[in-house]
């Protein structure tokens, strides 16, 4: 049994990390931390998850005594130093923030000066379907953003044939985090849908990095009146004409052995994958235009955050990749 | 006071037609018909609308005795002969189905053999912002589909500069009609979002007709967990580079005098226009790609159906275009 | 045209007050105030309502120059002195807070020390169906709380026959106000329902005052995943056995001439009255127990707040009671 | 590994039965049947559950070859003969319909003539918290209705002190079943709440049977705009005055060893128990009236149907009661 701590266990993603680790047959949840709420029990905040541990303030030394690995679910910027402290004490770490997903130049262009740039070289972008072997060998893995996870899985098999790509993404509100704001107020969201950050959402950086910067990527996120779920509708102009059979072959080949990617005969709904770590994809070619349409649905808190982080951790610890996630 | 009948007044769009006419200062609602439910009061089915008339079976002669104009809200295919019967009896008609929106070739390619093709020449496509003068003079106007309404208003000022266009459209469930199906079951829709008819939704025909067939149009509708509201997110590759100022000027010029089109500084939400006849548009140029992004939000039952039909009728009857719709 | 100001026009109820006054044929909206957001246009915050005025900071003198009457939509406690300032300058006032709904003893028991107790004697509890004549003659009317509005209309005809009463009330989130809190976060509300303030919600005071304190009243509010709408399910043990016919006669008699109360053959849904000023009631007698069940549905922002306030104002100004509200 | 079949595996409850059995460490799912949809894979209808079996038509002999026990999720009336056929072939059966929950007199009063009355004597009402020992020894267990499950757990500790009780129950739409009707149409449910069957819902029969007919029970179900979840708000007039401490002691004593009942310090939300087999209860005494208020939240598909059925089956097979349900 590997001993695992979750730092930042009261945000939506961190809370689910704690729940998944708590129910994992080969992991033992030994500590949950919170910047506020220390002293309260986790299941007082999240009764549904049934995690009976008491939340404590973050203290790297005390964590290191009790944990072999950690999942860190801090906001970007705040995560870097927490991750550093844990790595220095010998823990393997999966970080759910953006702090270790990008190279320094790209990070500082989209975010801010980096707090621990010396760690970037050793960090692996934890989309297992694209970087499985590197994840296995890493001590520090950056779990991808929710939007890039869905978009990259929808697009990866097409990387070599894309002339351009548009990602129209739709997310539930849990993706906006637990902060109570005008944007997350029920009355703002219910019976509504709207695009946001149309002049440049930061998750675009991950798309650029993983798809290659020579492909122009349009990326527009939308906020939807639902809790958990994310759909990436991707529109790809191919470099040369492709038949639907060719395209489907490309996807079947790419994902034949992937335990968490499933190809569907019809466009997926986010409900199809709710509370699972799966990504469900449908790809087709629009007859009228020859454009390739690829739709990928995930649960933003599972495959888009906590589930993926545990998938990474399984690999890092030599456990079966799907354990605790089925 | 012009006397107006609503044929097919128990579907979502028809019911709202009856409500708007009922509250209109210059129109008198004289008859509401329904294929089933005849004999029941309209406000028994739709208490919120407060229309106290009894539903009756459709009888063109009896309608003609009591009405100068009619709004017809039948399914496509069934509408054509109802419209014909009313026109023959001297009524002005706004038809909300697809039956008179397209030329014969396009209609029969996307729908079915036309039941009254001889009327097509005299029918006007009732998107007032594009065809106001023709609507004014017409006896038969076809109210546009909900998706084309939003998409065309988002795209019309760009018609001459588009190299290609992708319309990713999101609709509430009232757009799917009142039939109870697996698709419209609450449990199918709640906490879900999915694309549908990705191999060709019929509303594409209207986009082709109004935008010109030389521009390749990708059009993908999505079903969202909300009742009334439709957002068209449009991605346009311009033929040559445009600045955001140039694009905004094009829209301001196009819509300067339009009473129901408003330009917004930020992406619109469908809640901004709920239960109104307005179309709210935000247009920008994505810095990273130069692509023009245009977002248009409408209430699918108002500007996308019943409100637009009354807007057409106002013009046909020589009334102020906004009357009864503010 | 009476000139009307709305003080506190950016909360949900105040914003709707502004919209209703703005569309009212006999009222002219001359000022909208806001404690924050001054300088912004109202329709920038609430595009749907289409009120083009600029928000200004509250200044009693400047308001008095331009208005004959005011609707005040401040939080309780803060409202009293604003109301006082406007009354002193000769305006008629409808206050939407709790500050003038109760006698001093009851107010200070449930709320806090009263800021302007000298005005209480002249204030009228503005449930028009119970106090129409007093409202007509008043300079200061207190619009009732949303819960008491529905519950009192469900119960008033039974006042003389009740042995006890339980009110299980269900409200949409707009009733909780515009503040962004953990409670109003979309993720807290969606796919949820919960009772709250089960040890005593302040609206109980209004029920006690209007029903008479000798009847024990159990009142439990619940928060529901919807925006606008409030249902009061009331369970009354009658002092002596009543038939369903007797009970329905009592309601028909009580509400025969009420323009905004409608009796329904089946339990009402809040959707039946959404965006209307109506209260829809169904009453029956449970065969197995003889208990009287009375269900009243309102839109909490209309009949439960802004609509009712305008209904009061219509009476105070000698206008038709329903004007601007149909 | 006990081999288990699920008969009627395409309704909401039956589909979840299949999913729970499929993931259960000591049970093997060997057959899933459906009256329509035979020949399709279960995960084609319910992708989220990931059950890869093919649906087959019901055939008692073929089931008996492959199963030691069965969960039957047919509508009432249709279930009785299916259950009988399986019992005759030696299977242990948990039936999710109403067919074996009541004695014959009560069943035929609320439902219809019974199809297999000879089995009623051997059937056990499967609310494990009240009938654990009988469930353990039974070959046929009737899983309780969703409403009675929540209400009985909220009320059982008070059985000896109740003078009367009102149950105001609120359910998500999955409780109304998979049939597409006007009632379950998204547009009917969204932004709505309504009471239904106020003159007598059949689940009242179970309350009468388990609470004793001498206590008058008012029971009113409401339909809410959410998918899974059920809240029973119970109002009990005690025979003599009780303090909140006394009441809480009664509940703590009653449920001290119950693995699936948890007592909470505040009113529970259905979200607290979503996708779990738990019942979360808060009980208090209203200061103003001395009335006991008890709120119980469950997931109607889990503790209110499929989860409870597996809990029963665990006991019948000698397995740990919580296995496969945590």
Distance from CA of D194 to the nearest CA of C (A): 5
Q: In this complex, which of C47, C191, C280 lies closest to B272 when CB atoms are compared?
A: C47
pTM of the model: 0.97
pLDDT of residue D288: 87
Whether C185 has a pLDDT exceeding 90, the answer reads: yes
Q: What percent of chain D has pLDDT over 70?
A: 100
**ipTM at complex level:** 0.96
SS3 of residue C272 by DSSP: helix
CB pairs under 8 A between B and D: 55
Distance from CA of A185 to the nearest CA of C (A): 5
Spatial separation of the C-alpha atoms in residues C17 and D77, rounded to whole Å = 54
Q: Decide if C218 and D284 are in contact by the 8 Å CB cutoff.
A: no
pLDDT of residue C326: 84
**E strands within D151-291?**
162-171, 194-195, 217-223, 230-238, 261-263, 279-285
Nearest CA in chain C to B299: C48
Residue A164 phi/psi, 5-degree rounding, is -155, 170
Q: In this complex, which of D174, D181, D190 lies closest to B187 when CB atoms are compared?
A: D174
Whether A199 has a pLDDT exceeding 90, the answer reads: no
Nearest CA in chain A to B268: A194
CB pairs under 8 A between B and C: 36
Spatial separation of the C-alpha atoms in residues B181 and C323, rounded to whole Å = 41
Distance from CA of B180 to the nearest CA of D (A): 5
Q: Decide if D185 and B187 are in contact by the 8 Å CB cutoff.
A: no
Cα angle D151, D273, A47 (rounded to 5 degrees) comes to 125
| Residue among C161, C100, C150 at smallest CA distance from C277 | C150
Is the CB of residue A276 less than 8 Å from the CB of residue A239?
no
Taking the Cβ of residue C181 and every Cβ of chain A, the question of whether any pair is shorter than 8 Å is answered with yes
Chain A CB contacts of C227 below 8 Å: 186-187, 190-191
Suggest the residue from B188, B195, B232 to mutate for an interface test with chain A (most A CBs closer than 10 A): B195
The residues that bridge with C55 in the sheet, in sequence order, are C32
For the stretch C79-88, contacts whose Cβ atoms lie closer than 8 Å and that sit 24 or more positions apart, written own/partner, are C79/C8, C80/C114, C80/C115, C80/C116, C80/C119, C81/C115, C81/C116, C82/C7, C82/C8, C82/C58, C83/C116, C83/C119, C83/C140, C84/C115, C84/C116, C84/C119, C85/C60, C86/C7, C86/C60, C87/C119, C87/C139, C87/C140, C88/C60
Q: Decide if B173 and D189 are in contact by the 8 Å CB cutoff.
A: no
How confident is the model over B302-326, as a mean pLDDT? 97
Chain D CB contacts of C203 below 8 Å: none
Whole-number Cα distances in Å, C260 to C14, C109, C151, C309, D151? 21, 32, 15, 13, 36
The 10s digit of each residue's pLDDT in B118-134 is: 999 999 999 999 999 99
Spatial separation of the C-alpha atoms in residues A66 and B61, rounded to whole Å = 86
* Structure-token pair, residue D127: 């609310």
Taking the Cβ of residue D294 and every Cβ of chain C, the question of whether any pair is shorter than 8 Å is answered with no
Is the CB of residue C148 less than 8 Å from the CB of residue C158?
no
Taking the Cβ of residue A246 and every Cβ of chain B, the question of whether any pair is shorter than 8 Å is answered with no
Spatial separation of the C-alpha atoms in residues B2 and A307, rounded to whole Å = 63
Q: Which residues contact A197 (CB under 8 A, 6 or more apart)?
A: A221
SS3 of residue D30 by DSSP: strand
A residues 80-139 lying closer than 8 A (beta carbon) to B: none
- What is the pairing mode between strands C92-95 and C140-142? parallel
pLDDT of residue C199: 84
Match 């002691």 to its residue by tokens. D249
Chain B CB contacts of D180 below 8 Å: 180-182, 184-185
The 10s digit of each residue's pLDDT in A91-138 is: 999 999 999 999 999 999 999 999 999 999 999 999 999 999 999 999
User: Is D279 annotated in the active site?
Assistant: no
pLDDT of residue A215: 87
Chain D CB contacts of A48 below 8 Å: 271-276
User: What angle, 0 to 180 degrees and rounded to 10, lies between the N-to-C axes of helices D128-137 and D307-316?
Assistant: 40
Q: In this complex, which of B172, B192, B237 lies closest to A226 when CB atoms are compared?
A: B192
The 10s digit of each residue's pLDDT in C24-37 is: 999 999 999 998 89
Chain C CB contacts of D243 below 8 Å: none
The 10s digit of each residue's pLDDT in D22-62 is: 999 999 999 999 988 999 999 999 999 999 999 999 999 99
Distance from CA of B183 to the nearest CA of D (A): 9
| Residue among D42, B171, B223 at smallest CA distance from A231 | B223
Whether B43 has a pLDDT exceeding 80, the answer reads: yes
- Average pLDDT for chain C: 97
Neighbours of chain B (3+ CB pairs under 8 A): A, C, D
The residues that bridge with C64 in the sheet, in sequence order, are none
- Average pLDDT for chain B: 97
Is the CB of residue A82 less than 8 Å from the CB of residue A96?
no
């Amino acid at each position: 049994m590997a001993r695992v701590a979750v730092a930042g266990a009261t945000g939506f993603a961190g809370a689910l990390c704690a729940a998944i680790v708590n129910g994992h047959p080969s992991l033992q949840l030994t500590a949950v931390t919170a910047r506020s709420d220390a002293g309260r029990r986790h299941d007082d905040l999240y009764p549904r998850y049934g995690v009976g541990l008491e939340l404590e303030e973050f203290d790297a030394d005390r964590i290191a005594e009790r944990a072999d690995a950690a999942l860190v679910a801090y906001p970007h910027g705040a995560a870097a130093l927490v991750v550093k402290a844990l790595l220095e004490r010998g823990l393997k770490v999966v970080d759910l923030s953006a702090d270790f997903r990008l190279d320094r130049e790209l990070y500082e262009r989209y975010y801010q000066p980096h707090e621990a740039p010396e760690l970037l070289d050793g960090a692996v972008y934890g989309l297992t379907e694209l970087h499985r072997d590197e994840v296995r060998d890493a001590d520090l893995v950056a779990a991808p953003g929710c939007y890039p996870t869905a978009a990259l899985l929808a697009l990866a098999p097409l990387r070599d044939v894309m002339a351009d790509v548009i990602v129209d993404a739709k997310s539930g509100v849990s993706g906006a985090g637990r902060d109570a704001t005008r944007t997350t107020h029920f009355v703002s969201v219910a019976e509504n849908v709207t695009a946001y950050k149309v002049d440049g959402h930061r998750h675009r950086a991950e798309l650029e990095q993983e798809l290659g910067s020579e492909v122009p990527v349009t990326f527009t996120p939308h906020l939807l009146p639902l809790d958990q779920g994310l759909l990436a509708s991707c529109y790809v102009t191919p470099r040369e004409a492709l038949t639907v059979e060719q395209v489907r072959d490309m996807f079947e080949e790419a994902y034949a052995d992937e335990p968490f990617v499933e190809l569907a005969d019809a466009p997926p709904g986010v409900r199809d994958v709710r509370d699972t770590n799966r990504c469900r994809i449908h790809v087709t070619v629009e007859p009228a235009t020859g454009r390739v349409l690829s739709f990928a649905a995930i649960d933003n808190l599972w495959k888009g955050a906590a589930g993926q982080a545990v998938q990474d951790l399984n690999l890092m610890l030599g456990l079966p990749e799907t354990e605790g996630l089925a």
